[in-house]
Structure 1
Amino acid sequence: MTVTSYAAHSAGTRLEPYGREPGPLGALEADVRVTHCGVCHSDIGQIDDEYGITRYPCVAGHEAVGVVEAAGSAVDTELLPIGTRVGVGAIAGACFRCAFCLSGRHNLCPQRDDTVMRGDGGAFTELLRVSDWRTAYPIPDAIPSAQAAPLMCAGVTVFAPLLRHGVRPVDRVAVAGVGGLGHLALQFLARWGCDVTAISRSRSKEDEARSFGATSFIATGEEGALEAAAGTFDFVLSTVSADLPWDAYLDLLVPQGRLSIVGVPPEKIAVHPMSLLPAEKTVSGGVPASPAETRLMLDFAARHGIGPQVELFPVAEINDAIDTVRAGRARYRAVLTLV
C-alpha cells in the first residue's frame, strides 16, 4: 500500500507529493486516516532545518486529527475502536517501561517517538501511523476537528505548565505573545480563574487579546511598560519564538515566581544571577504533554468551549499554508484539510 505524504527534499524547498510504503502494522501500532492537520512553527523549523537535525525527505506535521483505520494485534479495540475520531500530537509513542513512563511522564521518555522528527513519517500525510495506540486520543464531540488539531500541540504545550507548576485560580499571570500559542494560553488561563495580562510589542492585538480572556495588556514597545509591571506576577508564560530581555521578564515576577518558556527562541537564554537568585525565582522549559495531561486538556477545552482561531487550507494549498506560518501571518493557527 502506497501512502501519499507531502515532503520537502532539502532545506526550505516547497513540499511535494511523496509516496511511501508504511510496512506491516506492529502489535501496538495504529493507523489514523488524517482529515485535518495543524501547521506549527516547529514544522517550519524542520522543513528549513533550523535545528540542524532534519532528515530528508522531510514529512513534517504533528497536529493531526483523523479516524482510526487499522489497529495492531495488541491494541485494545474496546478502548480505541476502529472508526474512532482521534488526535495525535507531537509524541506518538513511548516505551511505557522507563521510570518516566511509569510515573506518568511519558513525554520525557528517552525513547519517545517525536512525530515531527521522524524524517518521512510526520503528519502531513493521508495515513499517519502511531507507534503506540495509547497516544491516539479520542476527541470530545464538542470540539470540531479543525479546532482540535492545533490543540494536540499548541493546546497541550500551554495547558500542561498549569498542571505541572501548580498555577492557582488566585494567581496573577502574564502571557508573552499573542500568537498561535499565546491566544490559546489566554483562554486556558482565563477559564482557570486567573487574573490574566497579555504582553505584546504593540497594541495592535489588544482587542483580540481581551476577547481571548486577558483583563490587562502590556505593550513592550511603550517606554517603561515592562518596568512599571515589575513584581506583579506569580507566573509568566513565554510563548514567542523570539529572544526576549529575559532579566526584564524575571523582574515581572514576585518572589518565588516562575518564568515558563514554551516558545523556542533562536539564541541562548541568558539571565543575570541577581535576577534569579535573591528572590528564589525559577526559569523552566516545557515540552508537549503526557497522555494524562493531554486527556485533561481535551476535557477542559470541551467543557469550557476553548479552541484556536484557525485559517483553513485545502491540502492542495499546503505550500501557501507553510508560507503563511513561515511569514508569521497566521491568525492564529493554520490548519490543512485533507478530505
Structure 2
Amino acid sequence: MPVTSYAARSAGAALERHERESDPLGPLEADVRVTHCGVCHSDIGQIDNEFGITRYPCVAGHEAVGVIEAVGDAVDTDLLPIGTRVGVGAIAGACFRCPQCLSGRHNLCPNRDDTVMRGDRGAFTELLRVSDWRTAYPIPDAIPSEQAAPMMCAGVTVFAPLIRHGVRPVDRVAVVGIGGLGHLALRFLAGWGCDVTAISTSRSKEDDARRFGATSFVATREEGALAAAAGSFDFVLSTVSANLPWDDYLDLLVPQGRLSIVGVPPEAISVRPMHLLPAEKTISGGVPASPTETRLMLDFAARHGIGPQVETFPVAEINKAVDLVRGGQARYRAVVAFS
C-alpha cells in the first residue's frame, strides 16, 4: 500500500511529497492514521542535519496524533482497539526486555525506536507505524487532537522531571525560557501547586508567562536581576537551547536543589566546582518520557485542563509551519493538520 509523507531531500530543503510502499505489519506493530503532528525544534535539527546523523530523504516529525487503523497479530486489541485515538511521541518502540525496560524506563532502552531518526519513516506522514503498540497512547477525550500532538514530546519532556525528581507542590520552582517547552512547564507547575517563577531575557513575554501560571518573573538582561534571585528555588528547569552562565543558574538553588536541563545547549555545560559541591546541588538531564510518565502526563493534563497554545496549519502549508519553528517565531507550538 502506498504511503504519502513529507520529506526533505537535502539539508535545509523544503518538504516535498514523498511516496513509499508500506511493509507488512509485524506481530507487535500498529499503523496510526495521522490527523495532527506537532513541529518540534528537533525536527528542524533533523531536516537541517544539525546533528550530523540525518538520512535523506528525511521525514521528520515525532508528535503525532491519529487513529489506530491496523495492528499486528500479537497486539492486545482489548487494550488498543481499531479506531482508538492515540498519540505517538519521540519513542515508537523499545525492546521491552533490557534492564531499563524491565524497570519501566523504556525511554532509556539502548535499542529504542526513535521516531524522528528513522530516515523516511517519521511522523510527517499520513500513516505512521509504531514498532510496538504499547508506545501508542490513548488520548483522553478532554484533550483536543491539535493540543495533544505537542504534548507527546514537549509535554512529557517538561512533565517527566516533576515525577522523576520528586517536585512537591510546596516547592519554589523556576522555569528558564518561555517557549514551546517553557510555556507548558509553567502550566504543569501551576497545576502541580508550585510557586512558579518565569525566567527570560526580557519582559516581552511577561504577560504570557503570568497567563500560563507564573507568579513571578525575572528578566535576566536587567542588571542584577539574576543575582537578586540567588538561593530562591528548590528546582530550576531550563528549557532553552542556548548556552547559559550555568554557575549563575546553580546559584539560584537552595542547598540540595536541582538544575534540570531539558533544552539542548549547542556547547558543553561547564560549571565551577564551588558552585556545585559545597551545597550538594545536582545537575540532571532529561530525555523523552517512559510509558508510565506519558500516561500520567495525559491524565494530569486532562484533569486540570492543561494544554499548549498552538497555531494549526493545513498540511499544504507544512513548510510555513517548519519555517515558523526554524525562525523561533511559533507562539507557542506549531501543529500540522493532515485531515
Alignment-derived partner of residue 23 in structure 2:
23
Deviations 1:130-161 (A, max 9, x none): 00000000000000000000000000000000
Residues 32-71 of structure 1: pairs in structure 2 closer than 5 A: 32-71=32-71
Matched, 1:9 2:9: yes
Work out the CA distance in 2 between the residues paired with 1:324 and 1:66. Answer: 23
User: Partner amino acid for 1:313?
Assistant: F
| CA positional deviation for 1:72 | 0.2
Residues 4-153 of structure 1: pairs in structure 2 closer than 5 A: 4-153=4-153
Q: Secondary structure at the match of 1:129?
A: strand
Q: Secondary structure at the match of 2:325?
A: helix
User: Partner amino acid for 2:294?
Assistant: T
Residues 204-223 of structure 1: pairs in structure 2 closer than 5 A: 204-223=204-223
| CA positional deviation for 1:275 | 1.0
Work out the CA distance in 1 between the residues paired with 2:18 and 2:266. Answer: 30
| CA positional deviation for 1:196 | 0.2
Alignment-derived partner of residue 296 in structure 1:
296
Give identity over the alignment, percent.
Answer: 85
Alignment-derived partner of residue 192 in structure 2:
192
Matched, 1:276 2:276: yes
Q: Secondary structure at the match of 2:312?
A: strand
| CA positional deviation for 1:22 | 2.2
Alignment-derived partner of residue 235 in structure 1:
235
Deviations 1:31-67 (A, max 9, x none): 0000000000000000001111111111000000000
Q: Secondary structure at the match of 1:183?
A: helix
TM-score (normalizing by structure 2)? 1.00
Q: Secondary structure at the match of 2:155?
A: helix
- Which consecutive unaligned segments of at least 5 residues does structure 2 have? none
Runs ≥4 residues deviating over 3 A: none
User: Partner amino acid for 2:13?
Assistant: T
User: Partner amino acid for 2:223?
Assistant: E
Q: Secondary structure at the match of 1:300?
A: helix
Alignment-derived partner of residue 168 in structure 1:
168
User: Partner amino acid for 2:259?
Assistant: L
- Which consecutive unaligned segments of at least 5 residues does structure 1 have? none
Corresponding pairs, count? 339
TM-score (normalizing by structure 1)? 1.00
Work out the CA distance in 2 between the residues paired with 1:228 and 1:278. Answer: 20
